[in-house]
Structure 1
Amino acid sequence: TSMEEVQEIAGKAWERLEIRVGKMDDLGLPVLPLVRIAPSVSQGFLATADEYKADYLIMGWPENDRGLDVGKASTAERVFESTSRPLAIFRGIIEGPARSVLVAGQGGSNTVAAAELAAILASVGGGKAVYLTINRRRTGDGDPAHLPIGDGFTLERRVVQADNVKTGIIQEAENSDILLMGAPIDHLLDRSYLGGMPVEVARVRERPTIVVKAAEHRRAFWLRRVWEFVSRLLPDLSVRERAEVYRQMRNDARADTDFFTLIVLSSAIAILGLILNSGAVIIGAMLVAPLMSPMMAIAHGIVQGNMIMIRRGLISTFKGVAISIGVGTVMTMIVNPYQPTVEILARSGPTILDLLVALASGAAGAYAVSRRSVAAALPGVAISVALVPPLCVVGYGIGSANFQIAGGAFILFMTNLAAIVLISAFVFLLVGFRPTRAHRGRQVMQAVLVSLLSVFILIVPLWLETGTITRIERIEARIDTIFREELVGKAILLSLKIQRKGGEYVIDAVALSFQEEETSAKGLEKLRLLLSREIGAPVRINLTTAPARHLQAAEESPVEESRSGLLPVGEEETAKTPEVSEEAPAPTTERTEKSR
Structure 2
Amino acid sequence: MERTPADVPVPATVVVPLANPDTAPGLLRLAAAVTRERGRVLGLSILLEDKGRDAEHERMERLEKACAAASNMRPDVEVDLVVARAATVTRGVLDTVAEEGADAVVLGIGRVTDETGLGEITTSILDAAPCDVLLYRTGQTTPLRKSKRVVAAVSPHDRDRRTAHLALLVAGALGVETRAVTVVDYEHTIAQASVRLGQQLDGLPGGDDCDRRLVHGNQPAQALLRQAADTELLVLGSARTKGQVHEETIRTVLDGFDGPLLINAPHARDRGVFDGRFRRIRPRLTEPEQDELVWQAERLAKTSPDYLVLSLVSALIASLGLLLNSTAVIIGAMLVAPLMTPLVALGVGVTAGRVGIARQSLATVLNGTGMILVASFVLGLLIQPDAPTSEMTSRSAPTLLDAGIALASGIAGGYATARRDIPAALAGVAIAAALVPPLCVVGLAAGIGQAQLALGALLLFTTNIVCIAAVSCLVFAWLGLRIQRHRRVESRSGWAVGMIAAVAGLLVAIVVLNADQTGFDRRRIISSIEETIPGISVQQVETSGISPVEVTATVTADSDPTPADATVIEGAVAEAIGSPVDLRLIVLPVVTPDGE
What TM-score, normalized by structure 1, do the two folds share? Answer: 0.51
Larger radius of gyration between Structure 1 and Structure 2: 1
Distance in 1 between the 2:334 and 2:568 partners? 50
Q: Secondary structure at the match of 2:492?
A: helix
1:420 aligns with 2:468: yes
- The residue type equivalent to 1:462 in the other structure is V
Q: Distance in 2 between matches of 1:294 and 1:71?
A: 31
For 1:469, the equivalent position in structure 2 comes to 518
Q: 1:287 deviation in Å? A: 1.6
The answer for unaligned runs of 5 or more in structure 1 is: 11-35, 43-62, 77-86, 100-172, 176-191, 207-220, 555-596
Paired residues of 1:385 and 1:416 also in contact (CA < 8 A): no
Match of 2:246 in 1: 199
Q: For residues 225 and 544 of structure 1, what CA distance do their matches in structure 2 show?
A: 57
Establish whether residue 359 from structure 1 lines up as the match of residue 448 from structure 2.
no
Q: Post-superposition shift, 1:351? A: 1.7
Structural RMSD (CA): 5.6
Look up the equivalent residue of 1:475 and give its one-letter code.
Answer: R
Aligned to 1:251: 299
Residues 236-247 of structure 1 mapped to structure 2, 5 A cutoff: 236-238=284-286, 241-242=289-290, 244-247=292-295
Give the letter aligned to residue 131 of structure 2: A
What is the identity, as a one-letter code, of the residue corresponding to 2:184? Answer: E
Whether 1:429 and 2:489 are equivalent positions in the alignment is no
Q: What secondary structure does 2:371 align onto? A: helix
Distance 2:584 2:440 in 1: 37
Change (3 A) 1:294 1:201: farther
| Offset, 1:334 | 1.0
What CA deviation, in whole Å up to 9, does each residue of 1:328-355 have, x standing for no partner?
1111111112222211111120122211
Residues of 2 paired with 1:511 and 1:541: CA distance?
A: 20
More divergent stretch after superposition (386-395 vs 357-366): 386-395
Normalising by structure 2, we get a TM-score of: 0.51
Whether the 8 Å contact between 1:506 and 1:539 is mirrored in structure 2 is: no
The residue identity in structure 2 corresponding to 1:353 is: L
Partner of 2:88: none
Partners of 1:545 and 1:69 in 2: CA distance: 65
| Structure 2 residue identity aligned to 1:199 | H
Deviation string 1:279-326 (CA, Å, 9 cap, x unpaired) is 111111122111111001111112222222212211110101111111
Letter in 1 for 2:382: I
- Looking at structure 2, the residues matched to 520 and 398 of structure 1 have their Cα atoms a distance apart, in angstroms, of 34
Once residues 392 and 546 of structure 2 are traced to their aligned partners in structure 1, the CA distance between those partners, rounded to angstroms, is: 17
SS in 2 for 1:437: coil
> Matches of 1:508 and 1:378 in 2, distance apart?
38
Is 1:71 equivalent to 2:129 in the alignment?
yes
The reply to whether residue 443 of structure 1 matches residue 492 of structure 2 is yes
Q: 1:447 to 1:407 in 2, by over 3 A?
A: same
Flag the 1:74–1:540 CA change in 2: closer, same or farther, 3 A: closer
Count of residue pairs the alignment pairs up? 388
Percent identical pairs in the alignment equals 29
Aligned partner (choices 368, 380, 392) of residue 344 of structure 1: 392
Among candidates 313, 321, 330, match of residue 378 of structure 2? 330
Q: Secondary structure at the match of 1:401?
A: coil
2: CA distance, partners of 1:94 / 1:228? 34
Report the CA distance shift for 1:537/1:324 in structure 2 as closer, same or farther (over 3 A).
Answer: closer
Q: Following the alignment from structure 1 to structure 2, what is the Cα–Cα distance between the partners of residues 369 and 354?
A: 22
* Distance change (3 Å), C-alpha of 1:268 and 1:229: same
SS in 2 for 1:373: coil
Unaligned runs of 5+ in 2: 12-105, 108-117, 135-155, 161-180, 189-217, 221-238, 254-269
Quote the offset at 1:259 in angstroms.
0.8
The answer to whether residue 484 in structure 2 is matched with residue 395 in structure 1 is no
Q: Secondary structure at the match of 2:449?
A: coil
Give the secondary-structure state (helix, strand or coil) at the position aligned to 1:315: helix
Secondary structure at 1:372 match in 2? coil
- Of residues 172, 177, 184 in structure 2, which corresponds to 1:95? 184
Instruction: Please report how far the alpha carbon of residue 469 of structure 1 lies from its aligned counterpart in structure 2 after TM superposition.
Output: 1.3
Summarize deviations over 1:216-245 as a string: whole Å, max 9, x none: xxxxx99x9998864531323455654554
| 2:362 maps to which of 300, 314, 324 | 314
Stretch of structure 1 that moved more, 230-239 or 247-256 = 230-239
User: Residues of 2 paired with 1:494 and 1:452: CA distance?
Assistant: 40
Tell me by how many angstroms 1:463 deviates. 1.4
Question: What does 1:511-590 correspond to in 2, within 5 Å?
Answer: none
The letter for the 1-side match of 2:319 is I
Aligned to 1:561: none
In the other structure, the counterpart of 1:169 is none
> For 1:239 and 1:494, how far apart are their aligned partners in 2?
59
Give 1:568's aligned residue. none
Q: Alignment partner of 1:374: what SS?
A: coil
